[in-house]
Amino acid sequence: MLKKLFITAAAAAAVSVPLAGVAWADRPSDPGSNGSGIGQGGMPKQFGDFADAVGVNPKPGQPLPPGQEVNAAKSRFPGVPTPTAVGKDVNAVYGSIGVQTQFGPTPPGLVVKTFGPGCASGHGATDPGVNGGGSICN
């Protein structure tokens, strides 16, 4: 009985701290967003805007969900692992606008990260020829 009481109290304490943080959170500057800095429309809008800018959006002017683009990359480069297909697809997109890149296997999450505020921290997709061997985030 005492063991159940201790477990229940510990679980309640673990839940109450994050909930208290949510209750005190500031209202985002862009009420249509989730306050992540990505903005209204989220990551699909960011992907769609980039795809529009380089002329590769299959539905110009529309959001482009990242997962849809990853699936398209896998279909354009069949028979290779997803990170390899994504790296080749990134090279093809940049090549279509005259920028030669040499991205190797690139996990889809690193490509998604470049379109959000997370690009400024941690690891990103890298290419030896971009920004002196850095990330496309730089």
Per-residue pLDDT of the chain (138 residues; tens, 9 = 90+): 544 444 454 445 544 444 444 545 555 555 555 555 677 888 899 889 988 998 888 899 999 998 998 999 999 999 999 999 999 998 898 888 888 888 888 888 888 887 777 777 766 666 666 655 556 664
Task: Give the angle 6-7-12 at the CA atoms, nearest 5°.
Answer: 100
pLDDT of residue 39: 76
pLDDT of residue 76: 92
pLDDT of residue 36: 57
pLDDT of residue 30: 53
pLDDT of residue 15: 47
Q: Rounded to two decimals, what is the model's pTM?
A: 0.64
* Cβ atoms of residues 57 and 64 within 8 Å: yes
CA dist 66 and 35 (Å) reads 20
Nearest to 115 by CA among 94, 136, 129, 101: 136
CA dist 108 and 71 (Å) reads 10
pLDDT of residue 138: 46
CA dist 88 and 111 (Å) reads 12
